[in-house]
Amino acid sequence: VAKLCVCDLLVAQCDVNCCCDPDCSAADFSLFTTCSVPLVTGDSRLCSQKAATYSLDVEANPPERIFKLIDQINPSVFCIHATNYKQALSFGSPEMPTAENFDQLLERFGGATFSAEPDSWNMDTDAQNPSDANETYRYEYGVPIQTADAFLRLPSPVVSSWCSDVNPAGFLVNRATKCTRSVSVGQCGNTQALSMLSYINSSILAKRHEFVFQVNITVQSIVVQSLNGMRTLPNGSDVPRLPMILDELCINVVLGVSYHITYTDAGEIIEAAASFVLGAINEEALSIQQSFEISFTQVNTNPVPLSGNPGYVVGLPVRAGFRPQGYPFPLQAGFAALNANKYGQLTILQSTSHQDCLAAQGARTPVLFGYNMASGCKLRITAAMKCQPLTQTLLDLLKGQNFPEYVASFGNSQAQDVLDWVPITHLYTSDQSDNDRIHNALQSSCQIPVSLEIEVKWTKYGSLVNPQARIVNVTATITTTALKQLRSGRERTIPVMSSVVFTDISSPAEPGYKAWPTINVKLPFDFFFPFV
């Protein structure tokens, strides 16, 4: 206690009014006015302890410092007589990190919080760790894709529109980003971000944390874009092209990268391919816009874009297909994926600007769920046209090639689940009344189809708070009209129409309530005894 001095702040110099400072000489003491620290003791709760007192004797000339070591007694009956716990009265000094205990200290104190109690209470966390070992080897949704050195990067704009290169690509997260990068023609060959090699030189780990299996990124295609925006596919598309300066332009600069990753359902990556769009920049350009995209496909499947999961989303195309011949099959056969159009969608005739049916062969637009559509064209009939070929042409026009037989009832119906597909019912009506038909039938005139109306009945399925749209019934009605024979040389124009209507046939949901509790009060049998 005699050596402790709280006010000794300056090293090798005398602090003012600090009577315990060993750097002060007697001459310094004579200049002091008071002692800032009169008493230095240990813990005041001890019953008896040594204390050092410092005081100035101002009577003497020059003033002197008086230093006394006394025993201080705590008069309270609850003073500490003795302790057998040596850390009781002093602050514990923390462990110095060494190479041996660093990991343990990091585990204890490395998080955002830590408790003052010793580690013995965290026994149960150790038990959980071994079971996770198997799980960490497979990629899961959102987990960054690891490469040999770090992560597969998908540069994207962060905060501002400038590209940030530290954004990792997440597994099964399909993303497309566009960002701006600053360039200078002088740094054409040196900038890594403009060269296609920097996007393909890392190899992706097939499984997390396992460096044994690595997948190289192959170049799938290269498209060259000229300064005015025209894109061409050059010969030798697989050879990597490096940026270089040609005629004061920097060519082979990466303007877009599109990654396609193939994965298995065990969470492993088995293939990676990249398609590039290379362009040229001239010397005045200070920044270019790069676009990056990544998409994931499961191995051995054809990627079919879903129209909803599970209910149809308004605005997405209605999916349709065919049943293969010889149904019923065992369950693997399912439906053909190639159907109404390339993407398995229901389509209707698309109106064109010149409105001539025969000239607009083949233009069809997919039917989008929830959007009622109508389209049409005008057909010019001359006397020379025969009935049967005309009927066939109009039918092809209205229905298109490969009019599907089945429509998916949910947006994510798989081809294997045959019960999830709704058959299309066909109706044929005529736009004449019965009398006229009988009359015309006697004349055996020609019936040509002039309108196709597809009515899609859908219902709300599932929970009240998140109802999913489900297609229940699809009816295709073809209306025919009689074609009267024309005198030769004359022409007629008839309108041909097709339309799609979506009808909601969901019954309103009725919430059910439990019966309200009733108070079952009955008077006793003989309540009104004397009178009843």
By CB under 8 A, name the binding residues for other proteins.
Answer: 47, 76-85, 87-88
Closer CB to other proteins, residue 116 or residue 419? 116
- Residue 28 phi, psi (nearest 5): -65, -40
**Cβ 117 to other proteins shortest distance, Å:** 8
CB hemisphere CA count around 420 (13 angstroms): 19
Between vectors from CA 500 to CA 496 and to CA 506, what angle results, nearest 5°? 155
Kind of pairing, strands 421-430 and 467-483? parallel
3-state secondary structure of 447: strand
**Cβ 80 to other proteins shortest distance, Å:** 6
**Cβ 120 to other proteins shortest distance, Å:** 10
Residue 407 and residue 347 in contact, taking contact as beta carbons nearer than 8 Å: no
**Cβ 89 to other proteins shortest distance, Å:** 8
Residue 366, amino acid = P
Residue 24, amino acid = C
**Cβ 269 to other proteins shortest distance, Å:** 51
Closer CB to other proteins, residue 71 or residue 248? 71
**Cβ 40 to other proteins shortest distance, Å:** 22
Ordered DSSP codes for 13-52: SPPTT-TT-TT--HHHHTT-SS-S--EEES-TTBSEEEEE
Closer CB to other proteins, residue 84 or residue 131? 84
Closer CB to other proteins, residue 78 or residue 529? 78
Closer CB to other proteins, residue 79 or residue 185? 79
CA 416 to chain centre: 27
Between vectors from CA 368 to CA 364 and to CA 369, what angle results, nearest 5°? 150
Handedness of CA 6, 9, 10, 15 (dihedral sign): negative
3-state secondary structure of 112: coil
Closer CB to other proteins, residue 79 or residue 482? 79
Residue 19 and residue 44 in contact, taking contact as beta carbons nearer than 8 Å: no
- Residue 455 phi, psi (nearest 5): -110, 125
Closer CB to other proteins, residue 42 or residue 157? 42
Closer CB to other proteins, residue 90 or residue 134? 90
- Residue 29 phi, psi (nearest 5): -60, -35
**Cβ 112 to other proteins shortest distance, Å:** 25
Tokens of 301: 């499947």
- Residue 380 phi, psi (nearest 5): -100, 120
Closer CB to other proteins, residue 117 or residue 149? 117
**Cβ 73 to other proteins shortest distance, Å:** 10
**Cβ 87 to other proteins shortest distance, Å:** 7
Closest CA to 147 of 92, 217, 241: 217
Strands (E), 373-463: 373-382, 406-408, 421-430, 446-462
**Cβ 84 to other proteins shortest distance, Å:** 6
Residue 348 and residue 456 in contact, taking contact as beta carbons nearer than 8 Å: no
Closer CB to other proteins, residue 119 or residue 396? 119
CA 499 to chain centre: 36
**Cβ 110 to other proteins shortest distance, Å:** 23
Q: What secondary structure letter does DSSP report for 122? A: G
Closer CB to other proteins, residue 115 or residue 134? 115
